[in-house]
Amino acid sequence: MAALSFQHRFEPAADPALPPLLLLHGTGGDEDDLLPLGRALLPGAALLSPRGQVLEGGAPRFFRRLAEGVFDEADVVRRAGDLAAFVTAARAGYGLAAPIAVGFSNGANIAAALMLLHPGVLSGAVLLRAMVPVSAPPAARLQGEPVLILSGRMDPIVPADNAAGLAAMLRDAGAAVTHEVLPAGHGLSQADLVRATAWLAGRD
């Protein structure tokens, strides 16, 4: 297989009937960060976990930001295109179906950008502490892909109206969105694991 464009980890499926998960870390994470979360959320699924290619003070990210909560939107668009190309190549190389993204913070934001800018690359997404990645995306044509957004009520980074705006943006694009606000801050909690596991198992 030709070399893929992102440094990444891949774990093949123990249960090929399960959808693969695309694991997208937060600022300062790497390709190993979310592997335990992926294994816990959907045991037996194939896991594809790339490392963000932007460095902010040595900390990997998936796109540049101008300040906390202020994104370089041109870079978001560029990096989402790079990630979409990586996912397409990885699917061909590893023989994968379209993955469900599981993204945290910066990783959730690039996953949302993938949904809005590159419909069809993902079959769904779990967005943990996500914000609106681009203020005026082109009209996307999503086909009812399921999206779970889990926000934290005490999150000091993601304003409540921003997370709600992302949910509305994805709904308008055609996604089937579930948005829940948990009693948590910006970090992940046991409630995130419980809700995301149940959602992925289709118990809703």
Which position among 25, 155, 179, 192 bears the catalytic label? Answer: 155
Which position among 25, 33, 49, 105 bears the catalytic label? Answer: 105
Is 58 strand, coil or helix? coil
Question: 103 with 114: CB under 8 angstroms?
Answer: no
User: Parallel, antiparallel, or unpaired: how do β-strands 146-152 and 176-182 relate?
Assistant: parallel
Of 92, 65, 78, the closest CA to residue 157 belongs to 65
Verify whether residue 123 is a known catalytic residue.
no
Spatial separation of the C-alpha atoms in residues 96 and 196, rounded to whole Å: 22
Q: What share of the chain is helix, strand, coil (3-state, %, to 5)?
A: 30, 25, 45
Please give the DSSP secondary-structure letter assigned to residue 204: -
61 CB contacts (<8 Å, ≥6 apart)? 27, 52, 54, 55, 106
86 CB contacts (<8 Å, ≥6 apart)? 4, 5, 6, 8, 50
Q: List the structure tokens of 63.
A: 């796109």
Verify whether residue 192 is a known catalytic residue.
no
Sign of dihedral through CA atoms 78, 117, 23, 161? positive
Verify whether residue 105 is a known catalytic residue.
yes
Which position among 72, 123, 186, 189 bears the catalytic label? Answer: 186
- Residues known to be catalytic: 105, 155, 186
